Homo-oligomer: A and B are copies of this chain.
Amino acid sequence: MGLRYQETLTLPFDMVDVKQELKIPGFLAYCLALSGRQSELLGRADKAIFEEYGLVWVVTDYEVDIHRLPRYQETVTIETEAKSYNKFFCYRTFHIYDETGALLIKILAYFVLIDFETRKVSPVPEELIAPYQSEKVKKVARAPKYDTLGESVEAEREVRYFDIDLNGHVNNSKYLEWMYESLDYDFLLQHRPVYFQLKYIKEVAPGSLVTTKAVQEEGVSQHEIWSNGQLNAQGMIKWEKRDDRG
């Protein structure tokens, strides 16, 4: 059990989509910023660990269960916990609850520490992780697997100025946006996501031309992001047809 940290949020219009529901891609970035505020309280701000250790946190995988997407002006509680870690991986959860305490969304994020100079994964320093009171585990949790894509629909996308974040590469949340935007507008209006998983393989640089590949079947879509002949990210989203309840 790690220390828990929580904040409440009332959803403003710029965090919801045309259906008045939470925009999930931007919300992943919001949650990372929120966990950054916990780290700062614990004396482990990104800036501090960069200056002391030359290390930066990188998300490698997400697994996300969505029971219901919160709506415009709904107030939610976001609780995060750096749950456990082993030699290389740290596992953090985010639970999003509505005002009755019902669980809306559960996010599991896999983190590693990268040496900024060598770009290699670093073992997790014990004294860096100690303040979170996470459980040390031997077992490496296996990140979700991905099927090889069959016949896919491809599209090219330019990387835009505001896609680039302060780390100088395309922001993590953008990949999920690209995956959404590989699907038809009408499909997105008529379906809701109930689960998704993402894997980040290689960062995308400014000025890149990106190819999105998507396979859309009943209830599930599979996605790959490629640039310069490299696989950058994989994703899988499970969808449910919307009924009258919206």
Question: A residues within 8 Å of B by Cβ?
Answer: 12-14, 16-20, 23, 25-26, 29-30, 32-33, 36, 47, 72-73, 160-162, 164-166, 168, 171, 173, 177, 180-181, 183, 185, 188, 206-207
Contacts and interface: CB of A to CB of B under 8 A. Distances in A.
A33 B14 CA distance: 7
A32 B14 CA distance: 9
21 contacts: A12-B33, A13-B33, A14-B32, A14-B165, A14-B171, A14-B173, A17-B162, A17-B165, A18-B161, A18-B165, A18-B166, A18-B168, A19-B166, A20-B166, A25-B162, A47-B73, A72-B166, A160-B181, A161-B181, A161-B183, A185-B207
Contacts of A164: 17-18
A51 B136 CA distance: 55
Contacts of A36: 12-13
Nearest to A169: B18
A16 B41 CA distance: 21
A23 B12 CA distance: 17
A102 B174 CA distance: 34
Given A33-B14, A171-B14, A206 B185 contact: yes
Given A14-B33, A47-B73, 11 more contacts: A14-B26, A14-B173, A17-B162, A17-B165, A18-B168, A23-B162, A161-B181, A161-B185, A161-B188, A185-B206, A185-B207
A47 B74 CA distance: 13
A32 to B, nearest CB: 7
Nearest to A180: B161
Nearest to A24: B162
A246 B72 CA distance: 38
Nearest to A168: B18
A177 to B, nearest CB: 6
Contacts of A30: 12, 14
Most interface-central of A18, A177, A183 (chain B CB within 10 A): A18
Contacts of A18: 161, 164-166, 168, 206
Contacts of A206: 18, 185
Nearest to A27: B14
